[in-house]
A and B are shown apart, each in its own frame.
Chain A
Amino acid sequence: MHFDLNYSAILPQIIIGVTLFISATIDAFSSARKWPVGIITLFGIGAGISSAVYLWGSNIVSFSQMVSLDEFSLLLFITVMIAGFITVLVSLKYVDDMEPDGGHFYLLLLSSLLGMMFLVSATNLIVIVLGLELMSLSIYPLVGFTRDRQISLEGAMKYLILGAIATAFLLYGIALIYSVLGTTNLYTIARILSTAQHMTGNLVMMAGVAFILIGFSFKVALVPFHAWTPDAYQGAPAPITGFMAAAVKAASFGAIIKVVIIVLQSFHVPVAEALWWLSAVTMFTGNIIAVMQKNVKRMLAYSSIAHAGYVVVGLVSGTAFGMSSAVFYLLSYTFTITGSFAIITYLEKNDGTGSELSDFSGLAKEHPILSLIMAVFMLSLAGIPPTAGFMAKLYVFSAAIKSGYIGLAIFGILTSVISLYYYLRIVYAMYFEESEGRTDTPVPAGIAAGVFIALWGVIQLGILPSDIMNFAMQSIQSLIH
């Protein structure tokens, strides 16, 4: 084993890491108000996105085949970094309002980004676990960021312990596969599996695949591994909820696509069947429970569970088009959900209230533009044209239909009809209900900027989907080789 250290293979990670270092230093020496740290973070993430765009098209495997930089990882880098960028923009004022001396917010966010990036670019199960844990361990404290909110702590605590169980399962699955194949390198695993016969008859191997699937299913919150989601999402500060729904989900799905769908391709039949059921149950449960929610954060938590189900619809087919549509879905969901939570951040008060459905009543009168944009986000989540959400659903369902999963597609469409009910309740509240006296504060510039970036993404992907879909196709192609 020779040591090839091609640092350009982890250039975006280096940029985020260096930003983390600089931000930490500035945080240590700055006063109680921490927005300068946030600005540095913004610049760092911006540089990270630029580097990812700049590196587009390169294909480097380095560090003893531990990480690879290909179009797949780059597209997911861009996705999670956009989520991070919008989240930081939105939080600039929020953090200073919530916590004096809360600079670690940005540091944890950066380190979770770093974890996600290693998670999606890893080509070794060890690095995948490390990335996953770096991501999760940074997210847990962020969920409990506001230290005086009991619900925050409760959400964080539940999330942490359940997350640790899921990690244990994932590790156990990896250990099982290792005990059969003797390696954790994804390329080697793929090579062995492509030549070996009757692997699907090997019970240990099958249990290993099942455990890995369980571990990842937890991270993307598929029913019945979803139980942490509503609590953690409701408890977490609003910007972090958006970040979790967008970035954590995108990165974990990236790992699923890479490990479960592509590397473990010889297990496609049982995996697809299991995913079929998981997806159907997830779409159903998420959407149904969301219907009766009164708290918008919790409603969107259930909705995000349902959306994970839709992404899985794209994965079930196992085709390149299906996976590309899943990647497209993740990107579109990232824009929509971070934008929605940016608006919720604006409404959320210091004590954690302000995200009830009744808090949206009459919002259209005071903030017509903000309400209009929120309505657009809701329509995108519901999958109404001409938004990103519509194109995303169109792609995943057509992928499923093309591969013969017509029943699943119809079921998905039916559940998305149900989802319309609760998304429109928010729109209804904003436009047709009377407000109950809101203290009217101006919309902070950061939130406005974040909302507009997200809106731009939603409209762009809704009207000009072809280009982005081509990028998604390329990213999947880069992975298949």
Chain B
Amino acid sequence: MELNIVRYILIFPLLGFLVNGLVGKRLGNKAVGWIANSAVFISFALVVYIFIQLLSMAPGSRLITDTVYTWINSGSLTIDFKLMIDPLTIVMLLVVTGVGFLIHIYSIGYMHGDRSYSRFFAYLNLFMFSMLLLVLSSNIVLMFVGWEGVGLCSYLLIGFWYEKDSAANAGKKAFITNRVGDYGFLLGLFLLASAFASKGILTLDFTTMAAHISLISPQILTIVGILLFVGATGKSAQLPLYVWLPDAMEGPTPVSALIHAATMVTAGVYMIARMNFLYVLAPEALEVVAIVGGLTALYAATIGLVQNDIKRVLAYSTISQLGYMFVGVGVGAFSAGIFHLMTHAFFKALLFLGAGSVIHALSGEQDMRKMGGLKNKIPVTHAVFLAAALAISGIPGLSGFFSKDSILAAAYASGHTVIWLLGFITALLTAFYIFRLIYMTFYGESRLDKHAAEHVHESPKVMTVPLIILAVLSVIGGYIGVPQLLGNLVGWHNSDIFVNFLAPVFRTMPKHEMPVSTESWLMIGSIAMAILGVFFAWYVYIKSKMRPAEHAAESLPGVYRLLLNKYYVDEVYNAIIIKPLLWMSENFLWKIFDVRVVDGTVNGSAQVTQWASTKLRKIQTGDFQVYVMLFLIGVISVLAYFVLR
């Protein structure tokens, strides 16, 4: 079905960006906030409207398109500026605009008083535009435009406080790391385009590609799949390109919540789900996705155990949870991966915004060692934080439980036992580090600075209300995807609404059935892990007042230091990639190539041009008779050319 209002989902955030970016300074902060928020709200309302439209259509034919115009038509390749909404898109749209809107509201309070208020909202709206373009695009080239757009916005917003060196550097790091990934993505895209072109298919539309994917040999599909996944590891912060995400916490907290937790970093998962028709035919590539996802999940969780900066814990947690999502799509359970993407967007955005609220209350303090005992001073924040923590730990009944469990079940069922084990252990670690965070921040005795302690205050309504809404979503968000196993217990047929809703979008892998008893045991196992993790955290940080932690750090100094320093990955990258590159660029590229060759050429050509210009303009003497002579020279040459040739 063709529906022309789809484009307006994009237009309003773009307008918001233009207005706030061009004249935001003059409008005043209040108007800027209103414009940015209403732009996103209108998009959200449109998305909801389209969602209702979509629901009213037959399940198999839920597809809405909007061709804005033919973007590139170079004869051999036709690419339309065409938007497409199917169940997968609408889930992403609801998450992006819904969570995005809440975070926009929150930002009004959080950024209150910032010097660059209008710039912040302009960027945020530009981000919304790019993210929505990424999600809405109906072909992979347009998607790449959005993909690059969100990367740009991420860079701009990480380095938002560019006066701070660390922020500027973090922005650069994110940008460069993402470039590495994008390089892979582009290579994959070119390969895919040429593979299709050789079969006479001159468009990169998802539906067209899906229809003709079987024309292309599996080897090429595997290579394309891996290359595209390289792009995803960059954007979605997976091994080995995850290094930028922890540093990205230099940006304002709403940015961390929106871009680096809820939406942009999930773009890689979305891309793989969108390209499911390709990955299903390239099982080796999918295997790589699952392995990298599983390793990343465990790896990042271990680092999260010992971090002391409240936002960094959450950053590593995000990487770890993204790993889960990749496990989900990697074992072919695309819906489970997207389901976790959605619930994660709720509770992780909540965690970040809650952390923002804590930081706000403590006048900018981010070190958990200087927190503690905040439970009664900021009760609302505490309550919502607890809800999110329970959700992410996988405590039964909350959203995270359902989504994480369906991923683990799918991994086990498809025979990826090792990957399942990685995820299973990660579940324990997740519960531990998140409750470590809770206990260190909200419980125990206060370790606040005197100065900070005096100013502790609950955040304003404009910040707490979005928190409460997100808390509600984190709690109940999982009930649209209740595993059939549990549904049967209460006599609820088709309880897995989410999977059924997305089913038409995805090509299915060969189904692996497993006995009900196994599934039950798996579920009980993960519940036990979650509770165990919470208990350990309680034991270590409340019961024994951190002594075991200190003890462990002392008795295993090597491990502790390894974890605290994040496995020295930054140092290793520094030593084996950045240092040699710098050396190369300084000693060869700069001193020899740049100074001698490039500068020489550039300056030289500029000088030659100027010299030529100075000489050549002398032809134009101002003397009329010289002009006539020039004219006659032209006449004679043209005439001679014509007559004598």
Q: Hey, which bits of chain A sit against chain B, CB under 8 A?
A: 158, 161-162, 165-166, 169, 203, 206-207, 209-211, 213-214, 217-218, 223-225, 227-228, 230-231, 270, 273-274, 277-278, 285, 288-293, 369, 398, 402, 418, 421, 464, 466-467
Contact = CB atoms under 8 A, between A and B. Distances in A.
A207 B616 contact: no
Contact of A224 (B74, B613, B631, B639): B631
A206 B645 CA distance: 10
Interface string B626-645: 11101101110111011101
A270 B642 contact: yes
Nearest to B621: A227
A466 B71 contact: yes
B642 A210 contact: yes
A418 B635 CA distance: 28
A209 B642 contact: yes
Contacts of A207: 639, 642-643
Interface in B596-610: 606, 609-610
B58 interface: no
A417 to B, nearest CB: 9
B634 A214 contact: yes
A225 B613 contact: no
B642 A291 contact: no
B609 A162 contact: no
A203 B638 contact: no
Given A285-B616, A289-B620, A274 B641 contact: yes
B71 to A, nearest CB: 7
Contacts of A293: 617
A273 B641 contact: yes
A398 B606 CA distance: 27
A210 B620 CA distance: 25
A466 B72 CA distance: 8
A162 B627 contact: yes
A278 to B, nearest CB: 8
Contact of B617 (A203, A225, A289, A467): A289
B612 A227 contact: no
B198 interface: no
Q: Is the interface of A mostly helix, strand, loop or mixed?
A: helix
B73 interface: yes
Nearest to A222: B634
Nearest to B641: A274
B421 to A, nearest CB: 51
Contact of A227 (B614, B627, B635, B639): B627
Nearest to A210: B642
Pick the 8 closest A-B CB pairs, nearest first: A227-B627, A224-B634, A210-B642, A291-B613, A292-B613, A466-B70, A289-B617, A206-B642
B624 interface: yes
B521 interface: no
A230 B71 CA distance: 38
Contact of A206 (B616, B617, B643): B643
B69 interface: yes
Given A270-B642, A289-B617, A228 B627 contact: yes
A228 B637 CA distance: 19
B610 A292 contact: yes
Contacts of B645: 270, 273
B631 A288 contact: no
Contacts of A290: 613
A369 B643 CA distance: 54
Interface in B420-476: none
A288 B609 CA distance: 7
B638 A418 contact: no
B515 interface: no
Contacts of A228: 627
Contact of A231 (B71, B622, B631, B637): B622
Contact of A289 (B606, B616, B635): B616
Contacts of B616: 285, 288-289
Contacts of B634: 214, 217, 223-225
A162 B631 contact: yes
A165 B632 CA distance: 10
Contacts of A398: 74
Interface in B569-622: 606, 609-610, 612-614, 616-617, 619-620, 622
B639 A162 contact: no
Contacts of A203: 643
